Amino acid sequence: MLSTAAILGCAGYAGQETLDRVLAHPELEPIALGSDSLAGQAGSALDLRLDGDLPAFVSNEEALAAGADVVFLCLGHEEAAATPIPRDTVVIDLSGAHRLKEPALYPEWYGFEHPQPAGLDAWSYALPELFPPAGPLIANPGCYATAALLALGPLAEALNPVSAVVDAKSGVSGAGREPKAFSHAGFVLENLSAYRVGAHQHAPEIAQGLGFSVCFVPHLLPIRRGLLVTCYAQATDDDLRDRLEDAYATAPAVRLLPEGASPELARVQGTDGAEVALFEDRATGRAIVLCALDNLGKGAAGQAVQNANLALGHEETLGLRLQGVLV
C-alpha cells in the first residue's frame, strides 16, 4: 500500500534527512516538498545528489495543501505551532510545538504563547519503544529527550527522582542549518561548551515523559552529528537491567548493550538506531545509564518515519537506516 508524503521545511537539516528516509521508503511517495526559500527550484538546489525525478520545491503553504496522506512538519517551533493542521491526515511534527501537554510551559521554555492551547491534547507524544503513537497527530520527541527517555524511561519507577542528572553532548547539526553565532566553526571547532545550562527546552519534555524533573545540562561537541547522554541516579531497586531488557527485547531501533560495553557515537552516526547501556558506579553505587543516537536519525527524521510507519500501518522499520557496520 503506497502512502503519499509532504515535507514542510524540507530545506533544513531535519527536513532533508526526512526526505532521505522517504526516498529510501518502498511505500512512501514524496508528492510535495515545502521550502519558502527554495520554492520553484528543483531538488538539486538543495543537494546535487537529488535528481530530476523529484517534484520541484513549493512554498510550505502549498506543500500543506497538497493532500498527502502524511505531512512531516520540519519547521521551527513557533512556525509549526502556527501551521493550520489538516483533518484526516497523519501529521508528524518534528518541532517542539506540540510536545508539551501544559500550554503554560510554552512561554516559559519556548518563549511564545501557544496559539492553539486547547488543541494540544489531540497530539500524542510518540517515542515508539515507550509511548507508541495514539492517533494521527504525532509530536515527535526532541533529540536529547529521546536519548534521556530511552535511558531512564523504563527505570523511572526504580529511581530516586531527586537524584537524577542528565549530562548531554550533541554535534552541531542539532542547532540546524540556519547559521548562528554559536554554531560558527570558529566557535565550535576544538571547543566544548555547555549551553542553556539548567534552562534547555527539552527539560520539561523529559519531565513529562518520566513523571519527575531531572537536572539536565546540554553541551556542544565539535562534530557534525551524534548525541550522547550520560544519566546518573540512585536506584531504589536492583532489577534495572531486567527492566531495560524487557523494554528493548523486541525493539528494532534500540539496542541494549551487553554488560561492560559503552555506547559510541561512531556506531550510531548516520543511523536511525540508538544504543543504551547500564553501569553501576563502583564508588557510590549509583546507576549510570548511557544512550547514544544520531540527533538527525533516531533524534529526528528516523523516529519521524518510524512513527509515520506505525500511524499509517506500514512495517515499523521501512525506510529506516538500521543495517550495516559503518566505520
Ligand X SMILES: NC(=O)c1ccc[n+]([C@@H]2O[C@H](COP(=O)([O-])OP(=O)(O)OC[C@H]3O[C@@H](n4cnc5c(N)ncnc54)[C@H](OP(=O)(O)O)[C@@H]3O)[C@@H](O)[C@H]2O)c1
User: Does 95 sit near ligand X (CB under 6 A)?
Assistant: yes
| Residue 78 engages ligand X in binding (rule: CB under 6 A) | no
* 206 contributes a contact to ligand X by CB under 6 A: no
Residue span 123-142 as binding mask against ligand X, x where in contact by CB under 6 A, dash where not: -------------------x
Residue type, 212: F
Q: Which stretch binds ligand X (CB under 6 A): 31-39, 129-137, 158-166, 254-262?
A: 31-39
- Residues facing residue 233 across a β-bridge: 287
Stretch in the footprint of ligand X (CB under 6 A) among 69-77, 99-107, 241-249, 316-324? 69-77
Q: How far out from the chain centre does Cα 211 lie?
A: 19
Residue with smaller CB distance to ligand X, 12 or 30: 12
Contact in structure between 155 and 178 (CB atoms under 8 Å)? no
Could you tell me the smallest distance in angstroms from the CB atom of residue 302 to ligand X?
10
Taking alpha carbons only, the member of 234, 231, 235, 225 closest to residue 298 is 225
- Does residue 71 interact with ligand X by CB under 6 A? no
12 binds ligand X (CB under 6 A): yes
Q: Which stretch binds ligand X (CB under 6 A): 35-43, 102-110, 161-169, 278-286?
A: 35-43
Contacts of 260 (CB under 8 A, 6+ apart): none
Taking the C-alpha atoms of residue 25 and residue 320, their distance in angstroms, rounded to an integer, is 8
CA angle centred on 99, ends 96 and 101, rounded to 5°? 135
Residue of the chain from 5, 6, 7, 9 that contacts ligand X (CB under 6 A):
9
Q: Minimum distance from CB of 31 to ligand X (Å)?
A: 18
CB of 144 to ligand X, least distance (A): 9
CB of 27 to ligand X, least distance (A): 24
The catalytic residues are 143
**Helix, strand, coil percentages in the chain from 3-state DSSP, rounded to 5:** 30, 20, 45
User: Is residue 306 near ligand X by the rule CB under 6 A?
Assistant: no
Size of the site for ligand X (CB under 6 A): 28
List 36, 62, 167, 280, residue binding ligand X (CB under 6 A): 36
End-to-end CA distance of the chain: 35
Q: Is 76 in the site for ligand X (CB under 6 A)?
A: yes
Q: How far apart are CA 209 and CA 317, in angstroms?
A: 23
Stretch near ligand X under the rule CB under 6 A, chosen from 22-30, 99-107, 169-177, 215-223: 169-177
Q: Give SS3 for 267.
A: helix
Subset of residues 285 to 304 that bind ligand X, contact rule: CB under 6 A: 295-296, 299-300
Q: Which amino acid is at 86?
A: P
CB of 54 closer than 8 Å to CB of 39: no
Residue type, 6: A
CB atoms within 10 A of CB 49: 8
Instruction: Measure the CA–CA gap between 308 and 179, rounded to whole angstroms.
Output: 29
252 binds ligand X (CB under 6 A): no
The binder of ligand X chosen from 32, 58, 69, 77 (CB under 6 A): 77
Beta strands in the chain (DSSP E): 3-8, 28-34, 57-58, 70-73, 90-93, 124-125, 137-139, 165-170, 193-194, 215-220, 227-233, 254-256, 274-280, 287-293
**Is 143 a residue that touches ligand X (CB under 6 A)?**
yes
Q: Compute the least distance from the CB of residue 306 to ligand X, in Å.
A: 13
The residues that touch ligand X, with contacts defined as CB under 6 A, are 9, 11-15, 35-38, 60, 74, 76-77, 94-96, 142-143, 173-174, 176-178, 295-296, 299-300
